[in-house]
Amino acid sequence: MPRILTIVGARPQFVKAAALSRALKKYELEEIMVHTGQHFDENMADIFFRQMEIPEPKYNLGIHSLSHGAMTGRMLEELEKVMQTEKPDAVVVFGDTNSTLAGALAAAKLHIPVAHVEAGLRSFNMKMPEEINRIVTDRISSWLFCPTDTAVRNLLSEGYGNFHVRVENIGDVMYDVALFYSRISEKFATQFNGLKNRERLTVLATFHRQENTDNLKCLQNIVDALNVLNNEFSIVLPLHPRTKKILERENISLNFDPVDPVGYFDMIELLKNCTFVITDSGGLQKEAFFFKKQCLIIRDETEWTELVDLGYNYLVGADKEKILEKADAMRYSRMKFQEKPYGEGNAAEKIALILKEI
């Protein structure tokens, strides 16, 4: 039986890993899960694992609250020890965090093949730490599990057709996750079950990226746009703690009350029942599509270019006028959401079947 070591470090990675864990178990592959501790989250209690049916990690390295270099170095050191102890046949990493990079590096240096889930994504912005992480991880992986045709084309344009790697468009694991948890989200959501009964149309908004929060002009423009939209829409803004501190420090005021960060089930309920989404989150702009909602992306680029090409999402940056213009258009938009750029919701099973061949 092949032994698969999966590495996670942030809450979204746990959710993706849950989908893969179910598939690995179905096809009788042994899994050893390692949590690096990169995102220390007090909300990730026992109830989180029980409700989402996520297996408890065998190892929790507790590495967090360090600089990029120190964090990645510590993870590399500790993950190497785990791999030498467990002797896995393959290592699976997800996405583009420091945990992703450290896991891939540790495995590659020990000559353990690496499977990268969400391979081939590119923002083409080398100022983003995530972009560096995903490029390096792709280059040292043996299996590149791409979520879209666009991701496959990115890799081929970079010469991966000449490397001894397997490039597969297996679809998006997050689509698997959305389909699975949407069936039970209403049962476990704690804050937003009554959203559908609100009198006004609802906009779900999030922003946390440094290019928006550390640039005060961008931050003010985004807040100004949301304040204007609040005159016509009900704005639900789960406010990131770091963003909240900056708003308070700079005395930038919202004319509506934000909410505390929400769990995954509440986020699904928000996506199901909102009118459209405004975000700088890479994952949320795609999840909006899963639940047939359009999205304004308050960034200058996106990894999910296919949704822009299909006309569902719009890049508006931190431009107040663009945000307001496109928001007004979305109020009346009635898109059909018939395309399936992210597969059929069976990406995790495809990964498990390929790894079973080891």
Q: Per residue in 105-146, pLDDT tens? A: 999 999 999 999 999 999 999 988 999 999 999 999 999 999
Q: Distances from the Cα of 134 to the Cαs of 28, 173, 204, 336, 354, in angstroms?
A: 29, 16, 28, 32, 21
The pLDDT value given to residue 193: 60
The pLDDT value given to residue 12: 82
The pLDDT value given to residue 191: 78
Give bridge partners of residue 146 from the DSSP assignment.
169
Q: Can you list the residues of the chain whose pLDDT is less than 70? A: 40-49, 192-199
The pLDDT value given to residue 102: 98
Residue 355: name the closest of 36, 92, 67 by CA.
92
Q: How far apart are CA 356 and CA 295, in angstroms?
A: 37
Q: Which residues are catalytic?
A: 208
The pLDDT value given to residue 41: 58
The pLDDT value given to residue 195: 55
Ordered structural domains, the chain, with CATH: 3-172+343-355 (3.40.50.2000), 185-332 (3.40.50.2000)
Per residue in 254-274, pLDDT (tens digit) is 999 999 888 889 999 999 999
Indicate the pTM of the whole model: 0.90
The pLDDT value given to residue 48: 63
The pLDDT value given to residue 334: 87
The pLDDT value given to residue 39: 72
The pLDDT value given to residue 307: 97
The pLDDT value given to residue 55: 82
